[in-house]
Structure 1
């Protein structure tokens, strides 16, 4: 991947009353990334935040054709199921590239996808509610482990209680 790369991680189940806030915060973080010279954007294409991120990138491509959306999918059947739905089919068709991590589903395939995205990114945007378990917190930990720039968009009510468990360090 050429240029600076940014990926996203976030929960699939953002509360309905927070969806507009999350989309606006994502847009602001993406705009900041573009202003900072980022041109490639990785999405794992899960429901919720990942697909919101992809939609915003594609909207912004209308103004800036240098932006590239890259789908990073965990396994082949996930790609097949995304192509079954009209909306995600259109999103995938608009991607500059679709990367499939492995052929078959295995219990750790989502962690492998998230690790791949972090390893291949310079910045990680995380929409995070403070949960101590799940893909988003693991992705945040990968960002710390690989010393990637981390930009958090806080949501929900669990944040204060768990924030100390992760640390707040940013490069």
Structure 2
């Protein structure tokens, strides 16, 4: 696998409204654990759409991992231009910092938000352009990642597209491992 699409819950779907929330390090630890194995197996690119939450925390993890893994690259491909426009200033600064450090950035639609069709097209595009998906999602707690997962499942049925998931149990385990290490 050369290209992995990483997605998952948005920050507010976790009930997280600040990047220094106590749960964020555990989410990032779980993402990193999955990515390290894939990097050992030849992963070269991680692509995200730049959503607040899982995707931007994954971007932080990738940027940290790039220090030890020169073959690893980060692509941020947004569904449309200026997706951060409605965000608060702190989140905009966080986003723009990560965008500036990405190896590749682009927008699927070269215009601002017009409608949900852009988000649907984003899910299709990201699944088509990747060799697999890592999703932070638990089917027992529905949320916006269900749409990306649905696209990935369609492709999995066609050609065996791999889908790796991180569930709430996995996140709980990451938190407990940290407590035992103290």
TM-score for the superposition, normalised by structure 2? 0.75
Report runs of 4+ in structure 1 exceeding 4 Å deviation.
Answer: 15-18, 79-82, 131-134
Work out which structure has the larger RCO, using CA pairs closer than 8 Å and 6 or more positions apart in sequence: 2
What is aligned with 2:177?
Answer: none
Aligned residue in 1 for 2:9: 11
Over residues 11-42 of structure 1, what are the superposed CA-to-partner deviations in whole Å (9 max), with x where a residue is unaligned?
A: 11224664333211100111111011110100
The residue number in structure 2 matching 1:154 is 167
C-alpha distance in 2 between matches for 1:134 and 1:72: 21
1:17-56 matches, within 5 Å, as 18-56=23-61
Instruction: Describe the shift of the 1:121–1:7 C-alpha distance in structure 2 as closer, same or farther (beyond 3 A).
Output: same
Structure 2 residue runs of 5 or longer lacking an equivalent are 16-20, 170-182
Structure 2 partner of 1:129: 138
TM-score, structure 1 as length reference: 0.80
Change (3 A) 1:131 1:117: farther
What is the alpha-carbon distance in structure 1 between the residues aligned to residue 85 and residue 74 of structure 2? 18
Number of positions where the alignment pairs a residue of Structure 1 with one of Structure 2: 153
- In 2, the alpha carbon distance for the partners of 1:67 and 1:145 equals 27
Q: Which runs of 5+ in 1 are unaligned?
A: 157-171
Distance 1:26 1:62 in 2: 17
RMSD: 2.2
